[in-house]
Amino acid sequence: MTKPDVLMLYPQRPKAMQQLEDRYTLHRFDLADNKDAFVAQHGPKCRAIVTNGHEPVTRNMIVHMRDLRLVSCSSAGFDGFDVAAMAEHGVALTNTSQALCDDVADTAIMLLLAARRGLVPAEAYVRSGDWAAKGAFPLQRSLKGGKLGIVGMGTIGQAIAGRAMAMGQQVTYWNRRPKDLPWTFQPDLIQLARDSDALVVIVAGGEGTRHLINSDVMEALGPNGLLINVARGSVVDEEALIACLSDGRLGSAALDVYASEPDADPALTQLLNVTNYPHHASGTVETRDAMAQLLVDNLDAFFANEPLLSPVDLSGYLPAEKV
């Protein structure tokens, strides 16, 4: 039996790779020297692409892969994909938000705690001997009774909200539309920031959310406010973030993502009121394996003519006359 042809833009975890190699003819774009020539040669026979969210899926690639019908992505984010071109050409997209939900939610809470309780400077205080030499570490801020704003109330946002409630936080959220949930919906992002002690950002990346968190939002969050970003670096205006953190208009930030990864701007990362994490919210063996497996399972479902397990709705990216 002939194995289906699949274009691989990015390799997967070992167990998933073995399954892919056993079931499919993989055309290794990731190993090609001349990538345009490789797509021209192998792309037309491939009905599916497997990748992660960091290797671009371009309009040119989609146009030249005339039989392409699926992009199976092992990440939650896909802001490097030309989703408009995918929607126009009838290409389905799957991602892995459901597989990484818990670890990303845990990381958001970890950053909240680390920033509010001064974990990084406190650890250095003990390690350096300053505790003995200078006395007790300065008092920090309690989480119980605090007001947490969540920007984006998808699967991960809801998981963050549930954890925050268990810690005694009051949760309010902003989303493109309200949902039937036990938390208060606030349609005005500026007002949400103004009413919050800390703001967690967990929306999809891409042009639709670029610089959604701007200086107005940061100033509304205020000199005692904490901004936590576990979404994408593009969602926050990083130049404004550096300015607001530097002059006190924003109190602090805790970041898993940055505008120029992995070469993050030292003007941001070296600020003492910033807690840094290296885009590693889903970075556990268990979750990365689950993400890769979901990619395989979606691919298997596609070629078996079965419903996709975690499809992304691309209808919002179609031109109005095609909707």
From CA 232, how far away is CA 130, in angstroms rounded? 36
CATH topology of domain 101-276: Rossmann fold (3.40.50)
Would you please indicate which residues are annotated as catalytic (active-site) residues?
232, 261, 279
pLDDT tens digit string along 20-64?
Answer: 999 999 999 999 999 999 999 999 999 999 999 888 999 999 999
Does pLDDT of 206 surpass 90? no
Region class of 14: left (phi > 0), else alpha (psi between -120 and 50), else beta: alpha
The residue that leads in pLDDT, 317 or 198, is 198
Domain 5-95+286-322 class, CATH top level: alpha beta
Mean pLDDT, the chain, whole residue set = 95
User: pTM higher than 0.75 for the full model?
Assistant: yes
Rg of the Cα trace of the chain?
A: 22
Q: Which helix (H) or strand (E) holds 114?
A: helix 97-116
- Every domain of the chain with CATH number 3.40.50.720 lies at 5-95+286-322, 101-276
Does pLDDT of 320 surpass 80? no
Cis geometry, peptide bond prior to residue 56 (ω within 30 degrees of 0): no
pLDDT tens digit string along 180-202?
Answer: 999 999 999 999 999 999 999 99
Cβ atoms of residues 277 and 82 within 8 Å: no
Per-residue pLDDT, averaged over 155-168, amounts to 97
Between CA 11 and CA 2, with CA 95 as vertex, the angle to 5 degrees is 55
Does pLDDT of 316 surpass 90? no
Helix axes 155-166, 97-116, angle to 10 degrees: 40
